[in-house]
Copies of this chain bind each other. A is one copy, B any other.
Amino acid sequence: MTSGDRAELARLVGVAETALADALARTAGPSARLEAAMRHAVNAGGKRLRPVLCLAAAAAIDPGADARRAAAALELVHTYSLIHDDLPCMDNADLRRGKPTVHRAFDEAAAVLAGDALLALAFELTAEHPAETARDLTRVLARASGPAHLVGGQMEDTLGLLGPASAERLDAIQRGKTAAMIAASLEMGAVAARAGDGARAAFREAGLSLGVAFQIADDLLDLQGDASVVGKPTGADAARGKLTYHGLHGVEAARAKVRELTGTCRARLRATGGRTAFLEALADSLIDRRN
């Protein structure tokens, strides 16, 4: 990324943080404990990748478009999914980004309910737009975060190698758990900017390529914990029986797949007709870091 790209990234992260703070400021409800648990999770940090992709896609179509609530809704859904994934009955994680997970800092009931609350709050945000935009944002987010994608992918990922180790099942998990929300991030930016159907579809497709490339590259990174045995899955993923692209097809095929998908992503971003130079650089940097 150029220094201009890095400045734009920092600017968009700032917009995302403000949008998240605004979203959390509106949750005045009966339970201070619930709100504290929600804040604990949202304020634990993170790259804010999904909001940044959403804001950048909107700006690529119309620099004056307001995608702030759509961006915040995406991060709330991402945060909810991390809280629930971390629960003792799933990944049983004590730490997330160096801080205690919600069920460790509060308790399991607060963690389940904080996740639930963030998911519902996300749809309060998508509904707060002009009618057509609200309807389309809600539809895209509900589909990406529902049983067909995010939750279905997580269920199968949890089962891991207990389920069949087929290319189809791996593809469904990767599309569901990671790529669908990355695709929704770009598409919701396009919706907020009132892009045409063709551009919307191109952003969605670019996001699917980026999301799958990102997941394969991320899984490869897990391998490098033990570089002496590259080519044989021995990292944390393998230990917990995770189904991965390199585990199924080999490391070289995985690297080739990432390169292919990166090219597809770039071509689809250009096909949107928007000013996508920053998004192309961001996509490259996300994958390069891992490949």
Using a CB–CB distance below 8 Å, which chain A residues touch chain B?
Answer: 27-31, 33-35, 38, 80, 84, 87, 89-90, 107-110, 112-113, 115-117, 119-121, 123-124, 126-129, 131-132, 134-136, 138-139, 141-143, 145-156, 158-159, 169, 172-173, 175-176
- Residue from the list B29, B110, B116, B175 in contact with A176, Cβ < 8 A: B29
The CA-CA distance from A90 to B151 in the complex, in Å, is: 22
20 contacts between A and B (CB under 8 A): A27-B148, A29-B149, A29-B172, A29-B176, A84-B113, A89-B108, A112-B112, A113-B151, A113-B154, A113-B158, A115-B116, A119-B119, A119-B120, A120-B145, A123-B141, A124-B139, A127-B139, A127-B142, A131-B134, A135-B135
The CA-CA distance from A120 to B77 in the complex, in Å, is: 10
The CA-CA distance from A109 to B30 in the complex, in Å, is: 28
Q: Which residues of B contact A142 (CB under 8 A)?
A: 120-121, 123-124, 127
| Residue pair B155, A38 in contact (C-beta under 8 Å) | no
- Residue from the list B30, B107, B138, B148 in contact with A152, Cβ < 8 A: B30
| Residue pair B151, A123 in contact (C-beta under 8 Å) | no
Give the oligomeric copy count.
2
> What's the minimum C-beta distance from A180 to chain B, rounded to whole angstroms?
10
The CA-CA distance from A117 to B154 in the complex, in Å, is: 11
Q: Which residues of B contact A115 (CB under 8 A)?
A: 116
| Residue pair A121, B134 in contact (C-beta under 8 Å) | no
The CA-CA distance from A197 to B31 in the complex, in Å, is: 29
> What's the minimum C-beta distance from A160 to chain B, rounded to whole angstroms?
12
Additional 6 contacts, C-beta under 8 A, given A34-B155, A123-B138, A131-B132 = A31-B155, A116-B116, A117-B152, A119-B120, A134-B134, A134-B138
The CA-CA distance from A119 to B123 in the complex, in Å, is: 10
| Residue pair A116, B84 in contact (C-beta under 8 Å) | yes
A155 touching B33 in the complex, CB below 8 Å, given contacts A112-B84, A131-B132: yes
The CA-CA distance from A142 to B77 in the complex, in Å, is: 13
A146 touching B120 in the complex, CB below 8 Å, given contacts A109-B90, A113-B154, A131-B132: yes
Q: Which residues of B contact A27 (CB under 8 A)?
A: 146-148
The CA-CA distance from A127 to B134 in the complex, in Å, is: 8
The CA-CA distance from A119 to B80 in the complex, in Å, is: 12
Q: Which residues of B contact A175 (CB under 8 A)?
A: 30
| Residue pair A89, B117 in contact (C-beta under 8 Å) | no
Q: Which residues of B contact A138 (CB under 8 A)?
A: 123, 126-127, 134-135, 138
